[in-house]
């Protein structure tokens, strides 16, 4: 049993064989738990607070932007990936929320999957069809 004063918030992160409880007095958990993980051309954003998010694309250079209306981090974080599809992932505070910028080598395709603990974005090669 965990009994907290009302000014504290907490998050529970579950792995295959362990759970971690993070307690915060200001509502930010970024110093204790990484917001983003990258595995096999998939970006795992560790949050269940993605209601109202927006995804957009930019070119020159190619990027995918994900804007979350809620503040998930208070600092800029950059992961250099340097793989065939993804070159970097950057997260930073943006307006009143958080922006995640994914540098890609081309106008890559993506698919998102959401669950109660995270949002997963798979990055794939672009598909070109009907070109003669």
Cα dihedral 25, 31, 35, 40, rounded to 10, equals: -150
Question: Per residue in 109-119, pLDDT tens?
Answer: 999 999 888 99
DSSP string across 18-34: -EEEEEESSS--TTTS-
Averaged pLDDT for residues 26-49: 76
- pLDDT winner (highest mean) among 2-6, 21-25, 111-115: 111-115
Distance CA(128)–CA(27), nearest Å, equals: 44
Question: Quick one: what percent of the chain has pLDDT higher than 90?
Answer: 44
- 8 Å CB contact between 104 and 63: yes
Residue 56: pLDDT over 60: yes
Would the pTM of this model clear 0.85, i.e. be above it? no
Interior angle at CA 81, CA 28 and CA 51, nearest 5: 40
Distance CA(106)–CA(125), nearest Å, equals: 8
Residue 63: both structure tokens together: 């990027």
Q: Which of these, 56, 48, 55, 52, lies nearest to 72 by C-alpha position?
A: 48
Question: Per residue in 61-78, pLDDT tens?
Answer: 999 999 999 888 888 999
- pLDDT bracket for residue 31 (50, 70, 90): very low
């Amino acid at each position: 049993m965990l009994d907290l004063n009302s000014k504290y918030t907490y998050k529970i992160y579950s792995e295959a064989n362990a759970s971690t409880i993070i307690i915060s007095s200001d509502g930010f958990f970024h110093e204790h738990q990484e917001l983003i993980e990258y595995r096999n051309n998939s970006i795992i954003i560790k949050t269940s607070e993605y209601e109202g998010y927006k995804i957009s694309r930019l070119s020159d250079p190619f990027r995918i932007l994900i804007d979350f209306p809620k503040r998930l981090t208070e600092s800029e974080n950059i992961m250099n990936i340097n793989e065939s599809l993804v070159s970097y992932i950057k997260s930073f505070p943006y307006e009143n929320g958080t922006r995640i910028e994914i540098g890609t080598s081309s106008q890559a395709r993506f698919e998102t999957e959401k669950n109660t603990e995270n949002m997963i974005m798979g990055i794939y090669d672009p598909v070109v069809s009907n070109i003669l």
